Structure 1
Amino acid sequence: MNTSHQQLISLQEASNMTPYSADYLGLLIRKGRLEGFKEKGKWYTTREAVERYMRKVAEASYAHQENLNVEVPAEKIKMASVNFRWALILAGVIFVGAVLFGANSYVKSKQDSACAKYKVRKDESGNITIEVGKDEYVRNISVIQGE
């Protein structure tokens, strides 16, 4: 870098020209992205080098933005909104069906467990025997005989 000492600015002055800190500008110089040099433990650059770097960064940012700007036809946007609407309707129907099926299963399971499974047998002498499942426990049995 062939410059006279009158054109040199410190990184602190350069950081006032940019949105970057003096430390970051020093890193850019060490990586070779910004022109500058170190003299007596301090980094220096020129105003022109900082302006060139800022212009290069702005152009790269603008080029990146140009790549992001994509024209989408109105028909595709409309079709996507229709498809999204039908997807929401389908999700709603599935959700309602799951809720109804779950509620029905829950009610049926409560009805089945309200009464223990049992078998009633009557032998030749008229004795009534009630058999319950192996894992069932029975308390307070009431037997009502009908005609």
Structure 2
Amino acid sequence: MSKKIIPVQAGEKLFDWLLLLLSIGVLYEAYRIDGGLRLNSAGSFPVGLALIMLASSIALLISHRHKRRAPDIKTARQEAETFLKEHFKPPIIAFTVCSIVYLIAINWASFYISTFCFLAAMFAYYRKGKILSSICIAAITIGVIYVLFTMVFRVYLP
């Protein structure tokens, strides 16, 4: 009886190894919070979460060890091209670029102005050009954020 080979998605095994490295880095940084492993220390919860993350990434690596590339992907270049084509579609790139611009804009404009512009632009983009309703939704969202943080929680946003 032969085992059925399950194909791996493009870039999945690389992602598994990067997740393992990230888990090790998170564990190291969590350990550095208090410099020790005491149960009642400030770093005990982050260390526990990092250990869970590390165990999960190891479990993923073990469970994916028998997976192989799809038969139509022969080289690492083809795998990279397939990965980019599958995971970097225009809506994802648009959101990423707008998010970076938004994070930069918060420093120059106020939180409320930059958040309003970001939300209105993203709503208009993802709702395929419904500009007026997108502006209204963004304005209502900013109003709710203002009321919640300024009046209810008494936290003033920059």
TM interval, short-chain normalised: under 0.3
Looking at CA atoms only, which structure, 1 or 2, has the larger radius of gyration? 1
TM-score (norm 2): 0.18
Task: Select the structure that is richer in strand.
Answer: 1
Say which structure is richer in helix. 2
Q: Higher relative contact order at CA 8 Å, sep ≥6: structure 1 or structure 2?
A: 2
**TM-score in terms of structure 1 length:** 0.19
